[in-house]
Amino acid sequence: MIKSLCDSELFEAMMGLKSIGNIGAHPEKDINLIIDVEEGEAAALIELLHILDKEWYVAKAARLARLAAVKALGAAKIAAKTPIAVASPAPPSVP
């Protein structure tokens, strides 16, 4: 499912993240086999999260805001073409 929602490079990076997470969640049968976290790995994983946040949430919100602005411009132009009903003045009051 997720594969169809992103490009192949992003999907492969997410699968790399998954494989790293699986090391902790599903350790090897040999409990003496410990795979160390190398310097920079955590930063790379956090960077992937930043990419996902920017591409999937921040960009989407910015896109929706731009589209809303264009729709508002269109609505304003339609409103400008629509004649405004002017109320007749009230008749003078009789004492």
Condensed to tens digits (0 to 9), the pLDDT of residues 80-89 reads 888 776 677 7
The CA distance from 20 to 49, in Å, is 14
**SS3 state at 58:** helix
CB 51 within 8 A of CB 44: no
pLDDT at 27: 67
Question: Measured at the alpha carbon of residue 8, what is the angle toward residues 19 and 56, in degrees to the nearest 5?
Answer: 85
- Is the per-residue pLDDT at 67 higher than 70? yes
- Is the per-residue pLDDT at 26 higher than 70? no
- Specify the pTM: 0.58
The CA distance from 24 to 36, in Å, is 11
